Chain A
Amino acid sequence: MKKILEVKNLRTTFFTHVGEVQAVRGISFDLEEGDILGIVGESGSGKSVTSLSIMGLVDDPGRITEGEILFESIDLSKLTNEEMAEYRGNEISMIFQDPMTSINPVFSIGNQMIEVIMRHTKMTKEEARQRAIELLKMVGIPEPEVRIKNYPHQFSGGMRQRVMIAMAISCNPKLLIADEPTTALDVTIQAQILELMRSLKDKINSSVILITHDLGVIAEICNKVIVMYGGMIMEKSDIYSLYEKPQHPYTRGLLQSVPKNVTGTKKRLIPIEGTPPDLLSPPKGCPFSPRCPHAMEICLKEASPLYRISDTQEASCWLHHPDAPVVEGFVKVEVK
């Protein structure tokens, strides 16, 4: 499979008046053509900053301080804002969490869609309008010819998110980044949007990065997953291995803290104790070590490398080291 995106040792830091907030701390991953990659993590894990870094949308006081973002072999992190504008909305586009604040309320949605299409293609205004209607129809907006004249406030939350998706796919992007696309929606509407994204994926042939905190949403739609915590990658996996044999204590903890709900029984939840790390002064070693039930001395001193568990699964945890104590469910990996 062809690699669409290669992120290498990306570091993004915000230089605030209280200190350096190290939001992303040296992460690397690849995206292949046709992948739907889920990035899962809690607030402050760095998942959104990762996507903003790829889009070139990290604002002052934030800066990419290290690393490369190779999109079809071109390093996006080195482009000027003008050069990057050619990619944004065209080759790479983004769906945001809150469609009310990410669509301009004072222009009709048609106006905004036509602008994007004309900016990146050679279409005339009329052709662009036809294309916009076609896109609205594709995302399931009834009566698109009428609705194209409407303003964002005339749409419900779910409909606005459909408009947002129509805008994002209007130039057939090679890479689509969706940052919590269903978090603000009700569950029945979420089901509609996930179904839409699934059906569109085959039609438009984009690779997708889906950012969410919901392991359920990831399981619905993704084929690969990255688990982030404290600005670092804890685990990378194919979708099945992650849920069936998680190889990082954090992933395991997350899966255990969700209620299982078997009829007739009431099992106590197994929470992850403690609180997420302070990114102003993150723990020296593994960011999860202060909360980890298996933490060893080395975990507090040094972050673990990514151990390769199988062709499709990697985990950053010292428990995979041959000398580490045996913990049930965690695979040992020979050091090369």
Chain B
Amino acid sequence: MEDKKPLLEVKDLKRYFISGTGQNKKVLKAVDGISFHIYKGETFGLVGESGCGKTTTGRTIIRLYNPTGGEILFEGKDLAHLSEKEMLPYRKRIQMIFQDPYASLNSRMTVTDIIAEGIDTHHLYFGQERQARIYDLLEKVGLKREHASRYPHEFSGGQRQRIGIARALAVNPELIICDEPISALDVSIQAQVVNMLEDLQNEFGLTYLFIAHDLSMVRHISDRIGVMYLGKMMEVTTSDELYENPLHPYTKSLLSSIPTPDPRNSIRDRRVILKGDVGSPINPKPGCRFASRCQYATERCFTDTPELRELKPEHFVSCHNVEEINRI
């Protein structure tokens, strides 16, 4: 295998939210020490249920939140403690696409102004070149030139998401953080947007961090996937390996919960239905975060926090009992 270089390396990233003071002080550990890396040109999927910290992870990488601890290495440079001014050149290289195409576009700005905001901030193009660039971007994302002077309310959800993508592309980024970019779209539109993201990736050599909860779409688009649960990384591996050979008990039940569009599918009988609900990330107890819902949990799981270990090449799992569960 060729020597692949990571574009982004996240090491022991932490982001806590603190509310209350004194005795009422609560610490919400949204992201609690996760590590992963993304190779140049690949798509890394980050999956998990609501509240697992996947969105916070994305937002912390691009420094919409300041990390509580850990490193964010972009081509070896730690972004975690850069000042706003030092961060500026990296804001051009890392862009973001948001989940809600209604909330993420300013309704008082025209499409041109929305797309050009980054171009102007970074002084990339001027005058006619700027206008040509905007037309070019609109065509790239499947919109028309005449859309440039319109306002967001004149577009459907799918078209708005295209505007958001054009805005991200405008500054020639290397890494795009896609935070649930298709969740708010209709099924028939989702495939259009996913195909477009794939085409753009091929054309511009983009690297994606793809955050989502739709597990079958994540498998389709990702090269490697990380599974999060309550602020911790449970399993990281290539997407085929994750779906064919999941090792962590949480991943197993998560994957078996996906309803498949096939009435004769027998997955229902093999389904591992989890007991209880996702716990709270506020003042979490020591030990494995998944222990209270895990059917294999032993005493140790409630006291020691498991580390992410490489069990097979490129297959990382954080579970004390993974060997026994999978008879490795």
Contact = CB atoms under 8 A, between A and B. Distances in A.
Contacts of B277: 156, 158-159, 189
A335 B240 CA distance: 49
A104 to B, nearest CB: 22
Contact of A42 (B186, B217, B260, B261): B186
A270 B191 contact: yes
Interface string B261-300: 1111100100101100110000000000000000000000
A218 to B, nearest CB: 8
Contacts of B326: none
Contact of B187 (A240, A254, A264): A254
Interface in A262-291: 263-264, 266, 268-273, 275-276, 291
Contacts of A271: 188-192, 194-195
Nearest to B280: A156
A186 to B, nearest CB: 4
Given A156-B277, A187-B213, A273 B192 contact: yes
A298 interface: no
Contact of A258 (B187, B244, B253, B271): B187
Interface string A187-203: 11111101100000000
Contacts of A186: 49-50, 213, 278
Contacts of B186: 42-43, 213, 276
A197 to B, nearest CB: 12
A243 B263 contact: yes
B265 A188 contact: no
A331 interface: no
A195 B49 CA distance: 19
A158 B219 CA distance: 25
Given A259-B219, A268-B195, A188 B274 contact: yes
B210 to A, nearest CB: 13
Contacts of A266: 220
A290 to B, nearest CB: 13
Nearest to B258: A187
A100 interface: no
Contacts of A264: 240
A261 B261 contact: no
A188 B217 contact: no
A62 interface: no
Interface size class of B (residues with CB under 8 A): 35 or more
B305 interface: no
Contacts of A255: 261
Contact of A191 (B190, B198, B217, B271): B271
Interface in B222-270: 240, 243-244, 253-254, 256-265, 268
B191 A190 contact: no
A27 interface: no
B131 interface: no
Most buried by B among A187, A243, A254, A266: A187
A257 B273 contact: no
A275 B158 contact: yes
A194 B274 contact: no
Contact of A187 (B49, B217, B268): B49
A186 B213 CA distance: 8
A275 B257 contact: no
Interface string A7-39: 000000000000000000000000000000000
Interface string A290-305: 0100000000000000
Given A187-B49, A191-B259, A291-B188, 14 more contacts: A186-B50, A189-B49, A190-B257, A190-B259, A191-B271, A213-B186, A213-B187, A214-B259, A254-B187, A257-B187, A258-B191, A263-B243, A269-B195, A276-B188
Interface of A: 42-43, 156, 158-159, 186-192, 194-195, 213-220, 239-240, 243, 253-255, 257-259, 261, 263-264, 266, 268-273, 275-276, 291
CB-CB nearest 6 A-B residue pairs: A216-B259, A271-B191, A259-B220, A186-B49, A257-B191, A191-B257
6 contacts: A191-B273, A191-B274, A214-B259, A261-B219, A271-B195, A273-B192
